[in-house]
A and B are shown apart, each in its own frame.
Chain A
Amino acid sequence: MSIALRIPRVLVLSLALMTVGCATPRVEPPPLLSLSNRRCEANPNWAAASTIAYDPSKHRGDASAEITSASACFEDAVGQSLYAVYRLPSLPATSLVRVESTPQGQTLMAPRVLLYGPHGRLKRQLSGSRVVFRGSALSVIFRSHADERYLVVASDPAVVGHAIARIRDAVQGSAIYAYPYIVPVYTGADATVKNVLSYNGRVTVALRALPAE
């Protein structure tokens, strides 16, 4: 059984042209490891809470934020944190919230999630062992509670500065062009991905329906 393919010359040339690099490399921010120059508030600023674009008909909402050295900060018993605050929409009881911190080069914000009631009273905090890697992102998923109105995604000062090294194996399929044939080739790679847990980073918040059982 021949698995090589005959291909027209025009297609080969087109594919070759497409692989000419057009993308500009993205410059990722370095990890922010100290807030010693910041004077932080005692509580998150509720007035500055962002809304999450939520579609009740689809039971779906998404938000994202780049938390930088210019972001707001607050200080509690754990320490100082940069944060983003969201006002939660009224959610059905069967709702799932996913908060993720995705790597930006070596920078990976160490997230903790705090949920507050309508009058700013802390209801619960999700941090430490509740934060796990899903894929390459640090993730917290939880069920929404009706009495929670504000969601704060904050950096966790307890772990800022820790270096993480994770082994990542990958397999990639590609093709060798030997006109007039294409031969599929699979190659494997093994790398150690290094990140530093930081105050800054990129975070996303996703609201979804709890999956049906």
Chain B
Amino acid sequence: MPIRMRLGVVGALAAMLCACATQPEIPFDKTQASHLKTIGIVTPSMPDKPTVWLASDVGQSFGLIGALVDAGIQAHRDAVLWNAIDGVRNPPRTAFVNALEASLRRQGFDVKMIEAQRPDGHYLKTYPRTHDPIDAYLDVTFIGGGYGYVAAAMGKATPYRPFVYLHCRLVRASDGATLMQDAVFDNAIGAPKDTVTISANPTYQFTDFAAMRSHPQDARNGMDDAFRTTANMIGTLIR
């Protein structure tokens, strides 16, 4: 990964520390969506690969050199985690979309998959027309590092746990009205106010990166668990 991109990743994650990634919340109201039966899940805007993120470390205190060192370490860990979770044969994107579909079906909705290009990490401005009729589009964009593992600091007292950070919105197909819009963070750093916050699952935690690397199936299970938890919350927000 080029240096500029690495610094961009570190910078984006650093921005998360000040909870800058907020959007206005729009609650779902059944009276505005009484005929909502079929939801189209648009291809999420989501990194293909997870991130292993150390939210505070020595490098942050040493300017550009420190940031470069951090970026290099993170890129290496990201690659190791990707191999450990067998991401090529079992893409995280598939796991998340499956969890989202299951969540919506449990809420009683019919679900269709809507393919879409997601070039810029924002909500779509227009949604694809579909052959099958749908009542609303569910648009999900991952923000910050997207998903993976995060630790507040180095040390046994601050283990790595799975995280998922995303924005979601439900848009009525007939007129483009926003029926629901919210942010959902599983294992947030801090307590961002305008965001649904889900506590990390302590079942999946690793005292350090070496422990995560030596338990690849657990690492994958933890990530999938975070996907399910977040997807279930999205389903709850559309009740």
**Which residues of A line the B interface, CB within 8 A?**
1-3, 96, 129-130, 132-137, 141-143, 145, 165-172, 183-190, 210-213
Query: For residue A130, which residues in chain B have a CB less than 8 angstroms away from its CB?
Result: 239
Interface of A is mostly: strand
- Complex Cα distance, B191 from A133, in Å, reads 10
| Cross-chain pairs A/B with CB under 8 angstroms, 7 sampled | A130-B239, A141-B27, A170-B190, A188-B54, A189-B153, A190-B151, A213-B178
Binds A, one of B86-94, B198-206, B210-218: B198-206
Q: B95: CB under 8 A from chain A? A: no
- Complex Cα distance, B182 from A96, in Å, reads 14
Query: For residue B150, which residues in chain A have a CB less than 8 angstroms away from its CB?
Result: 169
Chain B 154-202 residues near chain A, CB threshold 8 A: 157-159, 161, 176-178, 181, 187-200, 202
Query: For residue A170, which residues in chain B have a CB less than 8 angstroms away from its CB?
Result: 152, 189-191
Partner of B196, one of A134, A171, A188: A134
Known: A166-B199, A167-B161, A171-B56. A134 touches B27 (CB 8 A): no
Q: Which 4 A-B pairs have the closest CB atoms?
A: A188-B153, A188-B152, A211-B24, A188-B56
Q: B55: CB under 8 A from chain A? A: yes
- Complex Cα distance, B239 from A82, in Å, reads 26
- Proximity string of chain B (28-52) to chain A, C-beta cutoff 8 Å, 1 when within and 0 when not: 0101100000000000000000000
Query: For residue A166, which residues in chain B have a CB less than 8 angstroms away from its CB?
Result: 199
Known: A169-B55, A171-B17, A171-B190. A210 touches B26 (CB 8 A): yes
Partner of B158, one of A134, A141, A188: A188
A1 touches B26 (CB 8 A): no
- Complex Cα distance, B202 from A171, in Å, reads 19
Known: A141-B25, A213-B177. A134 touches B194 (CB 8 A): yes
Query: For residue B158, which residues in chain A have a CB less than 8 angstroms away from its CB?
Result: 169, 188-190
Find the B residue at minimum CB distance from A164.
B199
Find the A residue at minimum CB distance from B171.
A213
Q: B74: CB under 8 A from chain A? A: no
- From residue A84, how far is it (CB to closest CB) to chain B in Å? 21
A133 touches B198 (CB 8 A): yes
Find the B residue at minimum CB distance from A137.
B193
A96 touches B27 (CB 8 A): yes
B189 touches A133 (CB 8 A): no
Q: B233: CB under 8 A from chain A? A: yes
Query: For residue A135, which residues in chain B have a CB less than 8 angstroms away from its CB?
Result: 191-195, 197
- Complex Cα distance, B60 from A185, in Å, reads 8
Known: A132-B233, A169-B55. A186 touches B197 (CB 8 A): no
Query: For residue B29, which residues in chain A have a CB less than 8 angstroms away from its CB?
Result: 142-143
Partner of B151, one of A136, A184, A188: A188
- From residue B51, how far is it (CB to closest CB) to chain A in Å? 15
Query: For residue A142, which residues in chain B have a CB less than 8 angstroms away from its CB?
Result: 27, 29
Query: For residue B56, which residues in chain A have a CB less than 8 angstroms away from its CB?
Result: 171-172, 186-188
- From residue A190, how far is it (CB to closest CB) to chain B in Å? 4
Known: A141-B25, A142-B29. A169 touches B193 (CB 8 A): no
Q: B61: CB under 8 A from chain A? A: yes
B195 touches A134 (CB 8 A): yes
Find the B residue at minimum CB distance from A126.
B27
- From residue A151, how far is it (CB to closest CB) to chain B in Å? 15
- Complex Cα distance, B182 from A193, in Å, reads 24
